[in-house]
Structure 1
């Protein structure tokens, strides 16, 4: 075992053991509880809280892992040491913390942070970025915003196909198409804006992007994004000093654990929509909007809960109910058994299959029929993460088995008028000074055309 891991403080070892628990990691003698059951004849796994175990026991458990894992654990020790030093500084000198770093703290305090930012960075291809020294972070104000687009691959995973990074002046620092280097099942062009022909001849890889980000994030830079953990998963980058714009605002009309979409948040805070209904995502615009949201938060506070603008739902979608988390063994036509009226099944479901589950839409003749069908569904009514009503329903099959899934409304429960939007809005930050080419309608000089 490396000297760094053996010489770590007990509190650090406790966090590493907890990391193995959260990720279901096992050494030669199994997981943490398996190890205790085998090696502690007196208490076994009955006292499994790592804090109540000695440092020697914690080290003995970590020694059961392979050398590669122990090298990874050593990286975690180094990072935990750097992080602890910064956190201690923040507690000792709270008045010296930059407003930007306070938003980093606010992000880390969100209820969903621990779950969503628990990255599997022990896996192949991941990069663990160093936190750096205290001097780099105590007054850190340098921010970069990132956004990514991903495609669905034949192996069921998602792969990065475009990444954009901008600074606080909205100057483009990175705008790259990325070759996924494996077979793509669905380019999701209607969402990503990227098609197969766009990637023809593209040589930039995920590793190239990781190298670029490593240089950019040196010396205490803060990374910004909306639901940023998803982008970091796509980038396979583990980095702690982040501001997640989905976490730093309080919402008056969403559940405490819910977050608003980037488009809805932009409408409410900045006063503009990032994209119109049905328009593909624009990676660069999304990164710029995330940066503008942070600048708005820094300038105006937004400490009171805000009303989140309703996403516009096309009338055609209002005549649908979304059935999701449907077990793949359940034929979609069987779903119709539980709905009143005369519904039909949307045919295109291939791009909505995720592992053991899939989703599809139930189509009705009019909105009243949708309302009646949802109202008559027998199931527990809840809200999804965006505030839309859904029911957890059970379907008894002819063979006696019972399948369960969710049925969700397409419309949002809270409707807001323009006058109800937050009055605190920040004028848009102008992008970098355009060149003559820009005036002709092309992108700024530092952005790459594609």
Structure 2
């Protein structure tokens, strides 16, 4: 580790020192400011900006860390920077234009989630690291192999490799091996992996054997390794390889966050035009490796766009089991609505909106599921129409108390469920009002509130990250239909936390600016 730190670039050293400050890390001589006070009596912590300090001092400080957790963290920072510089190194070594294959490698390395997902503990003895060699011939090799792994859950809570498949550019199988786990198995996850206890009888292939087989194809780091969420496979293989293409990074949803990565099944359906597996069927390691290779080949052949549309089955169905009945005359009781629509449903009255006349009201017809609601809407005999937002509805007429009554029946859309979030957003206007009141605080109160809000902000950042990870896990689930309600709830909570976080940051900025102004006036 000391050798790595000693040879690191200035910008990397500066980043490492700043991160230690941010994390509150302390070496054998204290934190960064305490270190400066002891090493530099003249300026001390008054000049704490690491970018203004010489390399020797930065290196000396970083070498004061000797705890295992601290060293692991610093090593990860170095890894991230080494891998981000990898594409630049290749560009400098290789004359001419960037190859299509290298472009996909670059897109993977430049993805904002790459540093987090591909920072491996490769310092561990079991790990194999394939490093890019500048002396190797053909550093911009376009050799490509796709890989996929299956993992089982062990009794200690960790995952162990149980099967690995690798295919070449022609989809020919190069490796298809069952691997004997190194630990006692708690759950084979047969419904996901397709592996059952009997499949491993007589299997002697070890992790080290698989690592040796794979590295033979990697040409000293020059070969490109392809996979979907490839970081999970490399983690299982304990293999750190820099030249990678992650198909979950090079494709994205057309109207979604860059952090929402499409599943392999979704990409196969949207990009390649076929179903990767039947609903509920377990994964097939070989099929997944071949699918990842096909996606890359489609990109290389310019047959696939960078973005994919979200198909109908991705659209949340929460609330779609309802039909909206509106503009109902007040003299028509809710019991009479059962004659207007066919099917098995219950009626739920909606509270009147502000400004809505007292002579009409609205209600919801709630069915058992979206399919029954859709069928009931189609069977309604009435004039097809659209509301002001373009949502389909029908004008129906029926007889009540000797007169003809007219009401509208409309299918529910996703806009109907934005109201819940909007109302919460209005509740947060109170927070915005607090922002303006900060200007009237004294300097001492400002400092106290800044610290308080900073603490809240940090808590919100952690909460937002937790929600994003949980949401990603639910969205990536192969049984996503079971998690629709939970996913929608997480999305709504995430939007709320994001909004609160933006307000808190705004508050802190304003308070700090006002504090500086008042201090300037006192001087």
Other structure's SS at 1:231 match: helix
Contact in 2 for aligned 1:145/1:165 (Cα 8 Å)? yes
Q: What's 1:284 paired with?
A: 286
Instruction: Supply the distance in 2 between the matched residues of 1:201 and 1:96 (Cα, whole angstroms).
Output: 50
Larger radius of gyration: 2
- How far is the alpha carbon of 1:214 from its aligned partner? 2.3
Matched, 1:36 2:134: no
TM-score with structure 2 setting the length: 0.55
Match of 1:156 in 2: 157
Listed one character per residue, the Cα deviations across residues 219-254 of structure 1 (whole Å, up to 9, x for unaligned) are 410010001111112122222210011111242243
Instruction: Report how far residue 195 of structure 1 moved.
Output: 1.3
> Which residue is 1:114 aligned to?
115
**1:222 aligns to what?**
224
**Could you say which residue in structure 1 is the equivalent of 2:170?**
169
The structural deviation recorded for 1:255 is 2.5
Q: Kindly provide the CA deviation profile for residues 284-327 of structure 1, in whole angstroms up to 9, marking residues without a partner as x.
A: 110011001000000025345322445589x9xx99xxxxxxxx
Match of 1:184 in 2: 185
Any idea what the Cα deviations from partners look like across 1:316-367, whole Å, max 9, x if unmatched?
Answer: xx99xxxxxxxxxxxxxxxxxxxxx9xxxxxxxxxxxxxxxxxxxxxxx943
Q: In 2 relative to 1, CA 173–47 (structure 1 residues): closer, same or farther, beyond 3 Å?
A: farther
Partners of 1:148 and 1:154 lie apart in 2 by 20
CA shift at 1:74, angstroms? 9.3
Q: What residue number does 1:100 align with?
A: 101
Classify 1:97/1:205 alpha carbon distance in 2 versus 1 (closer, same or farther; 3 Å): same
The equivalent residue for 1:269 is 271
Match of 1:391 in 2: 489
CA contact (8 A) 1:125 1:236 kept: yes
Q: 1:188 to 1:366 in 2, by over 3 A?
A: farther
Inter-CA distance 255–278: structure 2 relative to 1 (3 Å threshold): same
What are the ranges of 5 or more consecutive residues in structure 2 without an aligned counterpart? 38-42, 322-345, 347-366, 374-411, 426-466, 477-483, 496-523
Pairs aligned (count): 345
Provide the TM-score with structure 1 as the length reference: 0.63
Q: Normalized per residue, which structure has more helix?
A: 2
1:261 and 1:4, CA in 2 relative to 1: closer, same or farther beyond 3 A? closer
Unpaired runs of 5+ in structure 1?
320-340, 342-364, 395-403, 407-450
Q: Is the 8 A contact 1:2 1:71 kept in 2?
A: no
1:300-311 equivalence runs, <5 A: 300=302, 302-303=304-305, 305-309=307-311
User: Which residue in 1 is equivalent to 2:62?
Assistant: 62
Alpha-carbon displacement from aligned partner over 1:149-168 (angstroms, at most 9, x marks no partner): 11111211111111111111
Q: Distance in 2 between matches of 1:91 and 1:264?
A: 37
Aligned to 2:210: 209
Contact 1:27 1:62 in 2 (8 A): no
Tell me how large the CA RMSD over aligned residues is.
Answer: 4.5
2: CA distance, partners of 1:202 / 1:162: 11
Cα–Cα, structure 1 residues 193 and 136, in superposed 2: closer, same or farther, change >3 Å? farther
Cα distance change, pair 285–57 in 1 and its aligned pair in 2 (3 A) = same
1:47-89 CA distance string (max 9 Å, x none): 46x5454311332133234599989989997997797475145
Tell me what 2:127 maps to.
Answer: 126
